Structures are given as structure tokens and as C-alpha cells.
Structure 1
Amino acid sequence: MNAFRAQLDRERALMEKEVLEQYARLGRKLLLQEHDNRTALLTKERVKFALIEWEFTEELTMVAGRRLRERCLEEEHRGRVEVDAAEELAREGLIKTHRQQLEEVAENGRERSS
């Protein structure tokens, strides 16, 4: 009877050892899966952040482009207004045109040389 009992105890110890080993393997497997899940979630969050950052940068670029176009149009308009105003003043004889100034300088040069 003692031999039978000893055999049962050995088999029980082997079964317990196998169960503990399986439990340890499953625990490691679960830890690896949990790590993989965390890595996947982290990657997903990084991708989301990169998309948000890209959209923000794209929006900033569009806004900057719009502002630059507006500024160019304003400068172009301001330049036209200044040219129109200068032409009007020249017509009225209030200022001299560039050509008139050049002619005057040339005439003064001729007078000095004679």
C-alpha cells in the first residue's frame, strides 16, 4: 500500500509540475501578448499624432500662403495706386516724371559744359 501511495504521490508531483510549467508558459505568453497590444496601441497613438501634426502643418502652410497672396495683392494694389497718383501729379505739373528729371539733368550738364 505504501508503494502504491508513493507512486501516486510521484505522479501527482509530476502533474503539478507540468501544470505549473504550463501556467508559467501561459503567463509568459500573456505578458508577450500584453506587450504586443501596448506596442500596437502606442504605434496607433503615434500615427494619430503624426496625422494631427501633418494636418496642423498643412493648415499653417495654407494660412501662410493665403496671407502671402493677400500681402502681394495689397502691395500690387498699393503700387498701382502710387503710380496712378504720381502720374496724376505729373500731369498736373506738381511733380516731375523720371524722364523729365533725366532731361533736366542732361540739359544742366550741357549748360555746364558750354
Structure 2
Amino acid sequence: MKYLCLVYSEESKLHDLPDSPDDAECMAYAETLQRSGHLLAAEPLESVKTATTVRIRAGKLSVTDGPFAETKEQLAGFYLIDAQDLDEAIQLAARIPPARVGSIEVRPVRALNV
């Protein structure tokens, strides 16, 4: 089953805390997941300052700069994994390095029948 592990952290603190992971550590973990057959995709995201939010209301397009909501933590990246069940997905997510300074949201991917 596919699970999306969303990496959240306070962008201003992501790389400044004593337990902050560096890119090399994150890449090493992604390579570990890939070798074990669990990794489907993983990418860091650019700064939340580069985000654009798109909405359609009453048939009209609205485009705004920034994320959709004011929050303390921002989406920093993701890992798309293949796990047997939620328990295994949680165990894999717990080893994602930014979990030490932020949080990892684990969500099952819903299949679309198209």
C-alpha cells in the first residue's frame, strides 16, 4: 500500500537546530528506503515563499502567493513509500531525519479508478 509521508517543520528553524538533519543525511535515508524497495519518490520543496495557492470559487480563478493557511510549521518535502500496512509506514516515517525537528504526517494514498 502507498503512503505519503509529509515532512513539516518551522522553515526558519529547519536547518538551525542542534538536531537538524543536513541534505546528505536525508539523501542517505532515501537511498536506504530505495534499496529496501520502499521508496517510490522523495523530494524536498523550495521555500514556502515560492508557494502559489490556486482556488476556484463560484467558477472564478483565484491565485495567491504563499501557502493556503498561516501555520507555524510548513510543508518542507515528502516521501512516497510502499509499506505493508500503517504500522510499517509509521516505522519507516519515524526514521525520516527531519522528524527530529518537525513532524511527519503519514497518510494512505487513495487509488483513483480512471
The two structures have a TM-score, normalised by structure 1, of 0.20
Larger Rg: 1
**Larger fraction in strand:** 2
If asked which structure has higher relative contact order (CA below 8 Å, sep 6+), I would say 2
**Larger fraction in helix:** 1
The two structures have a TM-score, normalised by structure 2, of 0.20
